Amino acid sequence: MMWVIGIVIFLLFILFLHLLSPLSMEVDTRIPGASFHWQNIGHVAIWYDEEWRLSMQLFFYSKTMSIHQLKKKPGKKKTAVQKKKKIKEGSRFQKIQKMIRVLKTFRVTEWKLALDTGDYTRNAQLYPLNFIPYAHEHLHINFTGETYLLLKTRNRPWNILVAYFR
């Protein structure tokens, strides 16, 4: 009986460590691509290289494939089954508040935005934004046609769960 309790405690300890391990997400439109990384668990990345590709790694399993391979193959059509109407739990406002609470738990570690609207007068009107004290290293309004976004965020699953159930 003691070994069962020991195994349960060990599994709960492993689950607790995974809840504390950091999640990171990176979006870079220069590549273009995005990646999601959960430390010690795995990562998922999507990028464009003559076609859209998806790469996944979960513990010891690793796979890279084209997005076109994920398309559903034609098969038998299923008959439509009438679904029962679900009872709404909470209002739309409460769901939006919950989503905002979860989004607030994410911390932006790095962001860069280069913007060229294609209109010289609009770029000239936006150009003073380059000199805002907290944004001058991150925001770059230019006249050279360079437009991109780099965004890196971090979070922990524990923070997401606490914000969701609060």
Residues 85-116: pLDDT tens digits?
Answer: 665 666 888 889 999 999 999 999 999 999 99
Mean pLDDT of the residues in the chain: 86
Q: Structure tokens of 13?
A: 């300890």
Residue 22, preceding peptide bond in cis (omega within 30° of 0): no
In this predicted structure, what is the pLDDT of residue 59? 86
DSSP 8-state symbol, 51:
S
In this predicted structure, what is the pLDDT of residue 25? 93
In this predicted structure, what is the pLDDT of residue 73? 62
Distance (Å, whole) CA 65 – CA 63: 7
The pTM score is: 0.73
The H or E element containing residue 124 is helix 120-126
Q: At what angle do helices 92-104 and 157-165 cross, to 10 degrees?
A: 150
Q: What is the CA radius of gyration of the chain?
A: 23
Beta carbons within 8 Å of 92's beta carbon, 6+ residues apart? none
